[in-house]
Amino acid sequence: MQQEIKIPINLGTKEEQIGDSNSSNIKISSLQSKSFFKSTKEKWIFFAFITPPFVISTISMFHLVSFFIQVDNYAMALFLAIAIELSSIMALVGLAVLNKLNKSTLWSLFLILCIIQILGNMWHSFTIISDDSLLKILELLSLQKDGWSIRLVSFLTGGILPCISLIFTKLAVEYFRE
């Protein structure tokens, strides 16, 4: 007498029978791969839009260390910078692929993290720029050397990177939302 045992595993739709005719037959559902991307073109587009934010996050992490080290020791500054950048990447991933989360909360979080990145990048640019380079940039922009023009140069040389990251993120989210 042949006995059939069914194992209730719901991993896909295709069922395969395992076993020969003399032994018990076990029906197991096989896992079918489900792809987030509809085509190779979409995969390339996704990675083209997501690569700049990841690279900018890495650069901003080093800049944030120089910012946080002003108020904390090196180890804590490094951990804070890593935490901010990982949070930024997780918010990016949440915006790109998770549909069940509140998008306005994720955008608010990403915006706050972006502002922190802007401050860190501006601080690093402010502290690292030489007087000769600063004067050349100010001359190019036809500005006098005062506090606000130096802040503008710091924003243009470092603070704009997280803004670019935010724009790429928004474009990627809009493209894949359709």
pLDDT in tens, 28-50: 444 444 556 677 887 888 788 88
Q: Do both 72 and 13 map to the same domain? A: no
153 and 73 both lie in a single domain: yes
Report d(CA 178, CA 174) in Å as an integer: 7
CB atoms within 10 A of CB 43: 13
CB neighbourhood size of 47 (10 A) = 12
**The pLDDT of residue 68:** 93
**Most confident of the ranges 10-14, 22-26, 107-111:** 107-111
5 and 81 in a common domain: no
Check: pTM over 0.85? Answer yes or no. no
Q: What is the pLDDT of residue 27?
A: 45
Task: Please tell me whether residues 15 and 64 are part of one structural domain.
Answer: no
Residues 113, 138 share a domain: yes
Residue 29 φ/ψ, nearest 5 degrees: -80, 130
Which one, of 74, 143, 77, lies nearest residue 116 by Cα? Answer: 77
- What residue numbers bound the domain in which 56 lies? 40-177
Q: Verify that 52 and 29 share a domain, yes or no.
A: no
Helix, strand, coil share of the chain (percent; to 5): 65, 5, 25
Amino acid (1-letter code) at residue 120 = G
Do 103 and 136 fall into the same domain?
yes
Q: Which strands, in side-by-side order, build the sheet including 25-29?
A: 4-6, 25-29, 15-18
Averaged pLDDT for residues 58-77: 92
pLDDT at 81: 93
Question: How is residue 71 annotated by DSSP?
Answer: T
The 10s digit of each residue's pLDDT in 78-100 is 999 999 988 887 877 777 677 77
Residue 51 has pLDDT above 90, yes or no: no
Pair (27, 106) in one structural domain: no
| Cβ neighbourhood burial of 23 (10 Å; 0-12, 13-18, 19+) | exposed
> What does the pLDDT average to over 3-20?
48
Cβ pair 15, 26 in contact under 8 A: no
Q: What is the pLDDT of residue 104?
A: 84
Look over the chain and give the mean of its residue pLDDT values, rounded to a whole number. Answer: 78
| Mean pLDDT calculated for residue range 135-158 | 90
Shared domain check, 49 and 136:
yes
Same domain flag for 60 and 88: yes
Tell me, yes or no, whether 78 and 56 share the same domain. Answer: yes
Q: How many domains does the chain have?
A: 2
pLDDT at 173: 73
Assess whether 129 and 63 both reside in one domain: yes
Give residues with Cβ within 8 angstroms of 59, minimum separation 6. Answer: 121, 161
